[in-house]
Structure 1
Amino acid sequence: MIIGPYINALAIVSGALIGALLGGRIPERLQINLTLIFGLCSLCMGIVMVAKVANMPAMILAVLLGAILGEIILLENGINKLASSAKGIVEKLFAHGGNRLSHEEFLSKFVAIMILFSFSGTGIFGAINEGMTGDISILIVKSFLDFFTAIIFATSLGYAVASIFIPQTLLQLLLAYSAVSIIPFVSPEMRADFAAVGGVLMIAAGFRICNIQLFRVANMLPALLLVMPISHYWTVFF
């Protein structure tokens, strides 16, 4: 039974409600420090996942080819456009977020967090991983992070942040149930290499959250689709 996406959705909704109620009463220094901690947690998770790799060459090749493919098709730009298309709905439901932000500031931040919550490497990897292995730990950790992130963003964006659970949950459920169908064809080595590539994406996301290096993490997402076939054939021929 797939439960991770629902837990993640509950975390976002509850965090958004708490943040909207708190308003501007969260100190700025706490918001900044929490963001850095989020990045650190992502880095730690990534290191643990990479350590599980079974075929290092297969993992590296998948990351390289996936990143190249993502850059060629401009995947991150496409995701940005998809999130921006939600502006019309947001404008009708939450015209100015009910707070201090200007109209354009509100929409800009809303699109940014929609991408952060719904299209992060951690969420996509976590959903696929749960579908294949039944392990919800990645989505549980993401839920912890999303809960506090939603609180911080909702202090300025208001209750609109809660609505982001809809696209995120739909995407995670689609990925998780799709992954269930490939379980009979996945070996332990393929799962290990898949987890390792997910770890690489988490590390890249951690660097980005901490503003150390702004990796285009969304452009690296194709690596998650390539790694298992590459891992399989690497094991067969080498």
Structure 2
Amino acid sequence: MSNFDIDELASEYASKSPQQILELAIGQFDNLWLSFSGADDIVALDMAWKINPQIKVFTLDTGRLHAETYRFLEQVRKHYGIQLEVLSPDHQELEAYVRENGLFDFYENGHGGCCGVRKIAPLRRKLGTVDAWITGQRKDQSPTRADVPVIQLDTAFSTPEHQLVKFNPLADYSSEDIWNYIRMLEIPYNPLHEKGFISIGCEPCTRPVLPNQHEREGRWWWEESTKKECGLHAGNLIARS
């Protein structure tokens, strides 16, 4: 990574296609992983797999996903013939958290604590072992993502001893671009999308959106729009503070 100038490349690749950004990522980093949530980030996975069928992919199993998402993850694993590494929460930490706070404390106290145990802790363990990762986040997904660059230093998970590079190849894609790609290439997608779910997360914290509602209004709907991050992309909040 010593010869990898993040700011310079972020500027150079800002107007390039997602495939070109992915080619750079795959060409520069051997220890590179793609994060797949089981939602419309299937597009990033499809693009990366077509460049390198051996792309390494992980997903977070919080224990609270929709049944449709679990089945979709297995469908994707078989469709692409990939090994899908499933990250789970530490069972002792999770048991202690639930014992202390119950199963639905986030409705009263915010989602930060629950997401911290179920998502952030296992993700931090994983990212501490990799050099770079690929996400499917886009600028149009929420106010906190409006300035997302295509390449960045991951300020949320880097440490002084371990600098982590984050690639967001779909940053400039719109929801329409995503669905044009899915339909044109007839790739698999989560069936929850057919039920009004646009942004898909854990079952208790995700609901369908109404016509003309923004997609992130279906996530943590009881909270303000500027707080609709679980911590996976906490750097977005820092960048806009």
* TM superposition score category, shorter chain reference: under 0.3
Larger Rg: 1
Q: TM-score, normalised by structure 1?
A: 0.27
- Which structure has more helix as a fraction of its residues? 1
- Which structure has more strand as a fraction of its residues? 2
